[in-house]
Each structure stands twice: as structure tokens, then as C-alpha cells.
A and B are shown apart, each in its own frame.
Chain A
Amino acid sequence: MENFTPISAAIGGALIGLAAVLLMLFNGRIAGISGIADGLVNPRTDDRLWRLTFIIGLVAAPLAAALVGYGVPMPQMPTNYATIVVAGLLVGFGTRLGNGCTSGHGICGIARLSPRSITATGVFMIAAIVVVALTHHVIGG
């Protein structure tokens, strides 16, 4: 467990929780990123501005961190673009079909003790763990 970073994880997690609480206090909205992003691209949405500014804030954070010397390292992505496209499609389609992602279900939903969110989080965690086990140890081994 040499890569375990409990302190930064706790601080970062607390900030994510704080952002969720503030968004509810200010705007009465759930801080589910897939829901917020979907509202930007969904042709039927009519409240795009707060969604757009949230996304801008989200992208601005790593830029601000870089300005003070804590640049985010280049994310390591699969070299195969087909994998990236399939994964992106699944994440986009799946989060909308299931009405939430790691933030909307995993943080906001479980924080409300929603049985739907607890179920969804269990399902996507198990699915991801199985996929990683298969791709890293069985197929890619």
C-alpha cells in the first residue's frame, strides 16, 4: 500500500462533499456531474447557465492548481483509442440511464441514504472491479 494517500484523500473528499452541500444551499441542486453535464448537451434542457459555470469551475481547478505549482500530471490513458471511445460511450449512456455517477449516486445519493443510490453505487463499483480484474489480470495479464 505504498501509494495510499489517506490525508490528501480525506481533504479532497471533504472538499467534494463541501461543494455538494454548497450547491444545494445556493442553488438547490444535486452535485451530480453526469446530471449537470447531461443538462448541457440534452436538447430539452432550459437551465444551461449554472451548469456551464459549474463545468467551467471544475476545469478551472486543475489550471489554478498548476498556477500555484501543483500541476496535474498528464492522465495515463489507454493507447488504444477504440477502448477510450467505447469506455466514454458506456460512461455517458450508463450514467444517464442509471441517473447518476460516482458523485450523484456515490456521494450525494448515499449522503441522503437513498436506496437507489446505494444500489447503483454497489453495482457500478462491482462492475468496475470485475472489468479491472479481467482486463489487468485475465486478458491483459
Chain B
Amino acid sequence: MPALASLLCGFIFGLGLVISQMVSPTKVLAFLDFFGIPSGTWDPSLAVVMAAGLAVAGTGYALVRPRTPIFDTQMHWPTATIIDRPLVIGAALFGIGWGLVGLCPGPAIADLATLSPGVIVFVIAMAVGMVANDLWQSRGARVVEQKLVGATAADG
């Protein structure tokens, strides 16, 4: 049942990306291109997607927070609170990659449905980047220990 529930959630998430056109790198880049503000070509749609997503997620999280999940014994809320160097450097590296192509993980995976060779290559490179980080983080016992705790401490 949890697998079926998560299939439904992935599907709804994907529909959201399709309807909002966030699956289109062109649309995303049109938001990220702030030179478009003076020239009138700026597309603020991504900001509206985020605002609407935050309104629903913020309200919904507040409503479900006191409950126990239907298919688990506890909610795995992130526990990390410290703004550290990996967070900032990781976000910066991600932002650079996002700006280069206009794809972040959700739209990249959803776009696999188009069988675009460029998207397939992007997703493979993304998976390699993830594994590279996982292997790099698992070097040394201290870091491994952190990572074991980190399994539920991860933000997203």
C-alpha cells in the first residue's frame, strides 16, 4: 500500500509539473533570465508555481503534522537545523547546473517520458553525480556515522 500511495503522489506531482509547464526547460530559463525584466520577456510563472505549492503544502503540512502517517509508524520530518557549509555549497552547485540547462531533478525525471536523448543523458549524469556524492560522503567512519543519522535528517 505505501508503494501504491507513493505512485499516486508521484503521479499528482508529475501532473503539477506538466500543467504548470515546469517540465519545459525553456519556461524555467525564461523565469531565471532576469535580463528579461527590463526587456519585457521575463516569465514569472515559476514564482506562481512556488507560491501556490507553498500555500497548499504549508497549510496541508500544518493539518497533517499532529497525525501518524497512514502507512508508517511516524512522520520522517527533517531534523537538521544548522546552516552549514555543505548546504550552501551544495545549493550553489545545484543552482549552477540548473541554470546551465533549466532542468532540476523533478522535471528531468518527468521529461524522461519524452525519450529526449538530451534528457536521458542529463538524468544519467545526475544519477552519477548523486552516487559520486554518496560515495564521497561515506569515506571515513565519522562521516558514515553522520550519514546514518542523516537518513532521516535529510531535508528533501
Contacts and interface: CB of A to CB of B under 8 A. Distances in A.
A98 B93 contact: yes
Contact of B50 (A23, A59, A97, A106): A106
Contacts, number: 536
Contacts of B53: 13-14, 16-17, 20, 106-107, 111
Interface residues of A, number: 119
Contact of A61 (B11, B45, B82): B11
Contacts of A109: 78, 155-156
B25 A117 contact: no
Interface string A77-93: 11001011111111111
A123 B88 contact: yes
B86 interface: yes
B84 to A, nearest CB: 9
A75 to B, nearest CB: 5
Given A74-B116, A84-B118, A111-B57, A54 B101 contact: no
B141 interface: no
